Every structure is written in C-alpha cells, then in structure tokens.
Amino acid sequence: MSDNITASDIASAKALAQSLGQAAQAIEETIDALLPPVPGDESVLIDAMRYATLGGGKRMRGYLVTEVAAIFGADAASALRVAASVEMLHAYSLVHDDLPAMDDDDLRRGRPSTHRQFDEAMAILAGDALQTSAFEILADGATDPDPAIRVALVTALAQASGAAGMVGGQVIDIRGEGRALPLDQVRRLHALKTGALIRYAAEAGAILGRASASDRAAIHAYGRDLGTAFQVADDVLDATASAEELGKTAGKDEAAGKSTYVSLLGIDGAREEARRLSLRAMDSLTAFGARAASLRALAQYVVERRN
Amino acid sequence: MSDNITASDIASAKALAQSLGQAAQAIEETIDALLPPVPGDESVLIDAMRYATLGGGKRMRGYLVTEVAAIFGADAASALRVAASVEMLHAYSLVHDDLPAMDDDDLRRGRPSTHRQFDEAMAILAGDALQTSAFEILADGATDPDPAIRVALVTALAQASGAAGMVGGQVIDIRGEGRALPLDQVRRLHALKTGALIRYAAEAGAILGRASASDRAAIHAYGRDLGTAFQVADDVLDATASAEELGKTAGKDEAAGKSTYVSLLGIDGAREEARRLSLRAMDSLTAFGARAASLRALAQYVVERRN
C-alpha cells in the first residue's frame, strides 16, 4: 500500500500514531496501578513483573481491546483493565520465550530481557505470576459488574493462551526448528502462537461491549486476519530490519532454521500476503462505518511498521 | 499423637487411607478426561502436562476440595473438576520448582522430574499451560451453573497462587537460602508458599457448597492450620526420611542452607508444633460434627505420614 499514499492515508496514519500513543500511556498507567511495588522479601518479584510489563511495547493487543470496546460503548475503565490484563499475559509469554532453554534472547524492546536483568529463577516466577495476575484482573468485580461477562473473558483468554492456543503454537514452533514446514502448518503455527491472543484482544472488547453475535463474528474475522497480517509482516521485518530498528535480535528465524512466510513465499510474496490480509481485515469492518476508523488504520499500520 | 494410639484411631486411619485412595483415583480419572492426548506437533506438550499431573501424588489438595464440598452437599462432579484444577495448579508449581534454574531436582514422586523426562523448554511450557488449564476448568459452565461461583473460584485460586500467595512464597524461599530467617518469617514464607494453596483447596469446597460466612471462616481456619501442620511435618520428613521413603530428594533444605521449622525448633520441637497445629485444625471443625470425620483424620494423617 506504500505505492499509493494519499493525503487521507497520511492523516489517518498520524491520527493512529496519536491514538496508539495515548492508549499505550493509559494502559501503562493501568498496569502501574495494578502492580504496585510491595515491601518484604518478595518485592523483587513485583519489580521483575513491572520490569517485564512497563516501559515499552506498542500495546497493540491492549489498543485492540480499548478500540473494539469503544465501538460497542463499553465502559472505558473496564476496557483499560482488560487491556492491561492482555498485556500482562503477552509479557509473561515474552519473558518465558526469552529464557535460555527457549529462544535464549538477551534483548527485548531494546533492553536486557528479564532473565538478564534479574536472573532465570526470577524470570520464570515473574512470568508465572503475570499469567496469574491476568486472570485475577479479569475475574475481579471492578472489570465488569456482571460475573457472566467476567467468566466469559477468563474462558476466552485461557483458550487463546493455553495448550490449544499460544503455548501450543510455541511448541509447534520449537518442534519445527531445523526442518521445513509446509505453508499450511506455518499458518496453523502462527494462528496459535501469535494469532490467538490478538484475536482474543479484539473479541474481549466485543465481549465487554455486549456485541451481537453477528458483530462478534465480524470482530473475530478482523482479529484473525489482523493477527496473521501482523505475523507475516513480522517475518518480513525479521528478515530485513536491523536489531537497532527492531529493539530485539534480528535474523532470528533464519538462524534458528525456522520455516517462515518469507522462507516459503519470498520477501515480495510475504509482503503481498500481508497486504491482502490487511485489506480483508478492513473488509470485515464495513458494518461499523466510521466508528471503526482506528481499527482500519491499525490494519494498515501492522503491515507498514518498521519495528 | 503416635504415643497413644487407640482402636478408634486405627479404624479412622484405615478409613482415611481408603477414602484418600478412592478420591485420588477419581481425581486421576477427572484429570485424564480433562487432558486428553491430541494429535499434531503440539501433542508432546499434552504428553508433558499429563506426565506432570497423572500417575502419582497423594492428591491431598484435591481431597480437601471433595471432602469439604461433601460437607456442604455440593455436587460431586463439580467438586472433582475443582479438585482436578487445584492438582493441575499444584503440578505446574512442582514442574517449575524442579527446573535447573530453581531447585534443580531430577526426582519427583519417584520418577524423573518433567524437565528430565522431556526437556527444559517443554517443562516450562507444560507448567505454563497447566496453570492456564486450572483457570479454564474453573471458569467452565460444567464446574458450576452460577457464573458468580465460578469467578469466586478463579479469584480465590489466583490470590492463593500468584505474587501474593504461592509464587510470592517461593521468592521469599529462594531469597532466604544461605541466610538465617527468624521464625515469624519462616511462618510467613510457608503460609504463602504451601499454605495458601492448601487453604484455597478447603475454601473452594466451601465456595462450591454455598457455605455460610461462619462455616467458611471455620473451614478457612482449618485449612490454614492444616497447611502449616503439613509444612512443619514436611520439614521433619526432609530432615529424617530417606529419598526412597520420600520419592524425592531428601535433606534438600539443609543442603540449600534454608531456615526451616527443624533448624529453628529442633526435630522434637517441630514435631510438637505440628501436633499442636493439627489439634487446632480439628478444633475448628466442631460445628460440623460427624460430617467432618475425614477432615479430622486428614489433620491427624498429615503430621504422622512417612512420605
């Protein structure tokens, strides 16, 4: 889409950057309030949890929650709690992924990864407790007055992040290192590993907003295509951008012998695939008209970002 | 209490052994049904989750759920789901505790620990997914028809197992290695590390059974003292029993330079403390009369067990 940039595209990109930045700050403040420092010998655990979740990240998952929730008129404070919760879940997965026994990565968001800043034991435990906190926040009465909404959120997050979602995808990813996976298996891997949580974030906003079944289906389709587009673009960035641009180690996929969208489709093919998915994600939003402008801009952004 | 064994004690010990064994089998079958093997590349994850949770363990936490639930007339199938869930949460904590970066333990329940049977990455991920499954099971409509009961269970488990509970206690434990902790800090450590989940298990049965506030308070007090008695007895066993008897490495506390009830009170003093707590736990059950016979027998068992 970078071929035909219009004035309206530039305006919406600027509006998105501002909107993303504002949401990121509000989500950051919400996490900060939900994880206050504590006294006592266990204070280092909270320090590690805060290090892993605060001070960085685009907050795309949290932004998805707040923007979808706003379409359906959900309470903004509730949406921020759910946004903070999904960012904690995401942070736990990054902390554990970076461990020496997993991806063994020393760098995350341009800073030492959690096990380098603290130690391995604290990184394992901080990740564990961040997962627990994510569920605790969803179940709390402050998130929504209706317990049925809260259990729906807990169930959706568990399905997206557990063995049949994110963690299952991570296992397929590890098992696939050093051998060629066909495209349909790479698609399934990413639908689980990164796609499920991104789709959940969109759906969580719809759950909070008591969206109708048809509106939920549209948001589901949007989240699914956005998540895949994001991952395809991520593969392109991993193959083309520098570590400085990424704020994390570059060229990891090739070094690990992983099958990626780039190894299967080539860089141009992967870029084309990302554009196609981004456009299809936008198409799912037709019924929401102007209310979905920020979600459309986000779908454009994920395939054009440089980090 | 081994000084004055009566015929009634022997009868109740036999009844408890039978009751514990039956419950352990029913809980095992429930976990088996909740974690069916799957096809695909992620099957090894489910295998590791099943290895970590099935085929061993006394199921004391699960037993607590089912026995307390029975006192209040809760549905038995619901109680078994909650019992399976707390055993999964407990198993996740053992899998992560055994990792090289934590206690570095090769033996668990007489078998190789999960990271020895599989590998470190799979042990980290299986623990992660077991935690997720525990919350997913609680939030599921099959656990209880009332969403308010389900969110209450999720909240109670999160509080017992997260930074302000089990994981927080684990951090205090790690930080305390190699230096002397006073008795009040050792009490706090164990109230968090092992006590919180045992207390939760008892309380979960009361939540499922819609117990009154005063009955819940009695169960809370029972669970608190039972959990501490269990840990004090555990310290005695670690100092006195063989690895063969324990099914896990013995003498770990002293080797790690940990302050324990035994290092602080001596073996006889720790045994006396365990008996005192066990009796106080039983005292909390007075209002339940004969319905609490198995809970009384359990309080006696935890301080007399040999493994």
At B45-55, the pLDDT tens digits run 999 999 999 98
Query: Residue B111 gets which letter from DSSP?
Result: E
**Architecture per CATH, B7-304:** Orthogonal Bundle (1.10)
- Does position B2 have pLDDT exceeding 50, yes or no? no
Give the per-residue pLDDT at A56: 78
User: Chain B: residue nearest A96 by CA?
Assistant: B124
Would you list the DSSP string of chain A? -GGG--HHHHHHHHHHHHHHHHHHHHHHHHHHHHS----STTHHHHHHHHHHHSS----HHHHHHHHHHHHTT--HHHHHHHHHHHHHHHHHHHHHHTSTTTT---EETTEE-HHHHS-HHHHHHHHHHHHHHHHHHHHSTTT-S-HHHHHHHHHHHHHHHSTTTHHHHHHHHHHHTTSPPPHHHHHHHHIIIIIHHHHHHHHHHHHHTT--HHHHHHHHHHHHHHHHHHHHHHHHHHHHS-HHHHTS-SSHHHHTT---HHHHHHHHHHHHHHHHHHHHHHHTTGGGGGGGHHHHHHHHHHHH---
Higher pLDDT, A122 or B246: A122
Residues in chain A: 307
Distance from CA of A42 to the nearest CA of B (A): 5
Superfamily of chain region A2-304: Farnesyl Diphosphate Synthase (1.10.600.10)
* A172: nearest CB among B42, B122, B128: B42
Cβ atoms of residues A49 and A126 within 8 Å: yes
User: Chain A: residue nearest B46 by CA?
Assistant: A163
- Does position B226 have pLDDT exceeding 90, yes or no? yes
Average pLDDT rounded to a whole number, residues B223-248: 85
Task: List, for residues B250-266, the tens digit of each pLDDT value.
Answer: 677 777 778 889 999 99
Percent of chain B's residues with pLDDT above 70: 93
Task: List, for residues B138-157, the tens digit of each pLDDT value.
Answer: 999 999 999 999 999 999 99
Quickly state the pLDDT bin for B248 (edges 50, 70, 90): low
Q: Of the candidates A170, A166, A46, A54, which has an alpha carbon nearest to the alpha carbon of residue A118?
A: A46
Q: How far is CA B176 from CA A46, A124, A219, B96, B179, in A?
A: 17, 18, 49, 18, 6
Mean pLDDT over each residue of chain B, to the nearest integer: 92
The label of the residue with tokens 């077991």 reads B130
Which residues in B lie closer than 8 A to residue A124 (C-beta atoms)? 96, 99, 101-102, 124
- Does position B244 have pLDDT exceeding 70, yes or no? no
Predicted-complex ipTM score: 0.94
Which residues in A lie closer than 8 A to residue B192 (C-beta atoms)? 42
Distance from CA of B208 to the nearest CA of A (A): 15
Q: Of the candidates A296, A286, A280, A276, which has an alpha carbon nearest to the alpha carbon of residue A233?
A: A276
Which residues in A lie closer than 8 A to residue B171 (C-beta atoms)? 41-42, 44-45, 122, 125
Does B125 sit within 8 Å of A171, measured CB to CB?
Answer: yes
Give the per-residue pLDDT at B250: 66
Domain boundaries, chain A: 2-304
Give the per-residue pLDDT at A305: 80
* pLDDT tens, N- to C-terminus, chain A (307 residues): 444 556 666 677 788 889 999 999 999 999 999 999 888 888 999 999 999 999 878 899 999 999 999 999 999 999 999 999 999 999 999 999 999 999 999 998 889 999 999 999 999 999 999 999 999 999 999 999 999 999 999 999 999 999 999 999 999 999 888 888 899 999 999 999 999 999 999 999 999 999 999 999 999 999 999 999 999 999 999 888 766 666 666 677 777 778 889 999 999 999 999 999 999 999 999 999 999 999 999 999 999 887 6
A/B interface, count of CB pairs below 8 Å:
151
Give the per-residue pLDDT at A157: 98
Which residues in A lie closer than 8 A to residue B154 (C-beta atoms)? 135-136, 138-139, 151, 154
Does B155 sit within 8 Å of A129, measured CB to CB?
Answer: no
Token pair listed for B50: 């099943």
- Does position B185 have pLDDT exceeding 50, yes or no? yes
Does A101 sit within 8 Å of B121, measured CB to CB?
Answer: yes
* A96: nearest CB among B40, B92, B128: B128
Does A129 sit within 8 Å of B135, measured CB to CB?
Answer: no
- Does position B205 have pLDDT exceeding 90, yes or no? yes
Which residues in A lie closer than 8 A to residue B45 (C-beta atoms)? 163, 167-168, 171
Q: Of the candidates B110, B120, B123, which has an alpha carbon nearest to the alpha carbon of residue B48?
A: B123
User: Chain B: residue nearest A162 by CA?
Assistant: B129
- Does position B11 have pLDDT exceeding 90, yes or no? no
User: Chain B: residue nearest A148 by CA?
Assistant: B147
